[in-house]
Structure 1
């Protein structure tokens, strides 16, 4: 203690403070807080500096007070001997405490500096504020100022001091660059290099500029140290181009081995440019040397050199170099830089190999999908052998180059069926048919296939799926899936084509399906049916109006009845012309079925009309007569059709006259005027007479008798039979023309027709009879005879006149 009783030495002060705190402040205060439940039972307590020891005693009960005094005493003794003392036991170090609250309530962090800084300036001494009892302010010792002060007093001690600081917490307590500047200001170059070598031993990236500085200093003052540093690879963050240039300028690297050593540790950009001065052989040799010396460190340089000079060095040589070191990482980076510029299949293949072996699966997927230059077979086999955990690259290759069957076979046989699902669900659902075909080829169980089908929501060509299962005779396998599609409202013809095929194969009432369903494709289903059931093929073709196919299948299978029905209902003149050509060997068989079956089954007048027109246009009168007899003479919906009856009579008039009278007697609803005219034009007279008699057109009938049959007696019999005035009136004209005066007078009397009495009287006065009995002379003959008689009468009259006037001369030998 001093004269005033104050404790001055640290060893005494620390004991007093610790004992006082533990006895009067720490323990009583803690007990009071604990009694009021302010302290948790499982909490942990600590102190700072001397307070740490007090906490161990008063709170944690780790140390007794006697032990506390012993420990703190030795702490004080240690601190006391840590600094030098003069002869009077004095020292240049002291510490004091200040309580700001005793000074000013508004005391802040700036105020202590306002007190301390002037003192330091006036006395040129070390005076630091080492602690602030101000909130959010912590102490940072100015070690640089401290070092400068030590160097000013004793440079050797200063060097020792900064070395201790660097080994303690380098970068935290002291700025290394500032320390180097202090060394250089003292011209202590060797000490600076030693300090840097020790301070930079952790080889941190942020110390790169200091590493460069140290190497520069050693190149100038201690080159052998530079060799040791580079040879041992102590530093890796220095400025490589700068150091390499300094090495070359200094002439330290003259032979190839030294150049290789320098290159190995030089900056990437400088190295890349350096290789431009080398031959191909030298470049390959030096890159191999770099990989041999330190593959990991030099790999980046080698890759960049290989990339830049790939065209000169040759991709094959570079690939061989990387493969000789089994460095697939380097090969991956190199090829990744050139693959997009190359069309060499080997480059693309090796890149796929490298990406696979380095685990760059996403890049494998990308190059397999985007590249068009690799050999797909080779890549496919490699990816199979690689047995990747993710088979997506193999899937992509097989999908792009249509190796679907190989893919399915490989995945299924290796128990990788989940990747089959990945393929059809995420990559390409369009290939689902080929996948199903492949699974069927490897005898995959039906449950797996059905589940796969049900899991795919994307669209794919159903007709191809049907083809795949159909050619393997497994159509029924997809029936549940097809039914689900139908239930979902699908109208895809391929769905219904498949269902039709299944019903046909299983004989599940296929005829009804083919007739009632309108969504399947008749041509497709018809082709399917041809070898199985020609009749079902006919139904399908008829539904789809597949004319050529229908004609072919019915001809080949002698299904002329079905062909005839189709022709009648289809009403296509062009198709009729096709089947009724004279050189059609099936023509008469077809006509027979048309006449005997198809036309009789028809209830549509248009069907019959078109058929009749076809028969007319193809000059088949006899067959047409037979056809019309079937639908007119025999009971049918068309028996009373006027046009058809007319057609039958007209056709018979032209082709089979012997049947006309029979038809006239059987038919009722025909055009009398038209038929009788045409019959008369064709030289048929009895038939019109029969028609007129049947329809009681007596005047027309007597006209036929008198004008065409030319029989007065038959006419007389007919008029006597009908005994109608108008008929007698018509008959009397014929009698007059035939100079049957007596008969004509009787006929006029019966006709009660006096219109021609003058003519009758004149003929009666000059009546004569010429002709053959029961015959009426035609008008031309009658005119000729009349004219000739008149001429002779004139001659007779002239002779009479000559005789009267005695003008006649006797002929030789005659007296009169």
Structure 2
């Protein structure tokens, strides 16, 4: 019996490799489409093509295989790596379409080795490595930085220190966009540290919009920084509004600096700040220096200090400000003593200016006297009515029962004492005995003898 010869057919991989060796790339692609769908054979196929320098043909094979029903993650990943090495201009498009089907850590390493920073940032973002994405953009500004993407990613970082590094980065490369960045960072930013950082960099003027946007937190560092900026800009209206709305700052320090300011409006704000700290005399004295008569009168009236108000009256007379004297009388009406006002007016011969004040005082005192007199009259009438009701209650007859009346009658009628009759030989009582006892003698048997 003759031995049977076994006919062995070459595998698909062998046919593909033979076609590659013969540079029959169309046939090799047909065979390769049946190979790449097997993940364990894909690596050998790629190595065979790469070792012989057929990169274009390998890329074409993998591109054709992406539409297969059995396409797997390895195919998309290897194509992305090939793009990073040989066709970097096509890698971004490939990632945008198939980023969810690639092995991102593996592609990340390939992109970093190829210095494809924009694609690297894109992958970090999709892989939720936000810290690395921000660092990459700051380190490779020319290739990787994009304003919209940076602002989206910086808000998601876990390391807050990157906030302050990004502020330094923007100050150096994109200073005009820093307020937009601060708007994104402000919810998690330490405002004290931010103000200190910009103060050291001497960039507070640049971030003024940021300071205004976060002033509603009433942070002391923010308030003081913004107040200093407004003072430097000589914007007294905004400064006054800031002081009224947000009170968390060193008021005395600001007042001491403002009272030496060359503009009167800022010195006026200094007087206002002293008033808010109950430094009434200091406030009034500052108003007197700048001839701020209205403010001086209002502050003296609010102080509730009679001595301060009377001192201001005397100062108005020394300055020959008779109209101000008259106005101050009514501004501090409750604090002034009429005798002091009368003396000052008489001494300076300005009774006409003080007369409206005295008319008001007279009217007030007469009203009080009339009210007191009316009250006394009403009290007397009520007292008399109460006394009359009490007497009526006492005189009202009381009803008594029969037994009580007999007892009262017998108790009020005098009864003559009866002498004891003698017994056993003592003499009987005579008619003269009752008379001797102080009672009238009663006739015997009803006859008068």
If the length of structure 1 is used for normalisation, what is the TM-score?
0.31
For the pair 1:420 / 2:1, whether they are aligned, the reply is no
Aligned residues: 329
Distance across 2 between alignment mates of 1:452 and 1:657: 77
The offset of 1:521, in angstroms, is 4.7
Distance 1:651 1:603, change over 3 A: closer
For the pair 1:720 / 2:300, whether they are aligned, the reply is no
Q: Partner residue of 2:129?
A: 546
Cα RMSD, aligned residues only: 5.6
Determine which of 623, 626, 644 is the counterpart of 2:214. 644
1:250-649 paired onto structure 2 within 5 Å:
389-391=6-8, 418-421=9-12, 445-455=24-34, 459-460=38-39, 464=43, 468=47, 472=51, 474-487=54-67, 492-504=72-84, 505-514=86-95, 518-519=99-100, 520-536=102-118, 537-547=120-130, 549-550=132-133, 562=145, 568-570=151-153, 571-572=155-156, 574-577=158-161, 579=162, 591-597=167-173, 600-601=176-177, 608-609=182-183, 611-612=185-186, 615-616=189-190, 619-624=193-198, 629=204, 632-633=207-208, 639=209, 642-644=212-214
Q: Partner residue of 1:160?
A: none
* Structure index of larger Rg: 1
Distance 1:642 1:659, change over 3 A: closer
1:33-112 paired onto structure 2 within 5 Å:
none
Contact kept, 8 Å, 2:19 with 2:27, in 1: the verdict is: no
- Per-residue CA deviations over 1:547-572 (Å, capped at 9, x if unaligned) read 46546756876879849986643213
1:656-695 paired onto structure 2 within 5 Å:
659=229, 661-662=231-232, 665=235, 668=238, 671-675=242-246, 677-680=247-250, 683-685=253-255
- Per-residue CA deviations over 1:231-278 (Å, capped at 9, x if unaligned) read xxxxxxxxxxxxxxxxxxxxxxxxxxxxxxxxxxxxxxxxxxxxxxxx
Q: Partner residue of 1:213?
A: none
Distance 1:498 1:547, change over 3 A: same
The offset of 1:495, in angstroms, is 4.0
Contact kept, 8 Å, 1:554 with 1:562, in 2: the verdict is: yes
Distance across 2 between alignment mates of 1:482 and 1:442: 18
Distance across 2 between alignment mates of 1:681 and 1:553: 45
Distance across 1 between alignment mates of 2:130 and 2:16: 34
Distance across 2 between alignment mates of 1:662 and 1:643: 19
Distance across 2 between alignment mates of 1:668 and 1:574: 37
Q: Partner residue of 1:401?
A: none
- Per-residue CA deviations over 1:773-816 (Å, capped at 9, x if unaligned) read xxxxxxxxxxxxxxxxxxxxxxxxxxxxxxxxxxxxxxxxxxxx
- Per-residue CA deviations over 1:675-714 (Å, capped at 9, x if unaligned) read 3x22235732267889x968x9999567259728924332
- Per-residue CA deviations over 1:197-256 (Å, capped at 9, x if unaligned) read xxxxxxxxxxxxxxxxxxxxxxxxxxxxxxxxxxxxxxxxxxxxxxxxxxxxxxxxxxxx
Q: Partner residue of 2:275?
A: 703
Distance across 1 between alignment mates of 2:171 and 2:245: 27
Unaligned runs of 5+ in 1: 1-328, 330-356, 360-387, 392-417, 425-434, 581-586, 634-638, 768-816
Contact kept, 8 Å, 2:137 with 2:145, in 1: the verdict is: yes
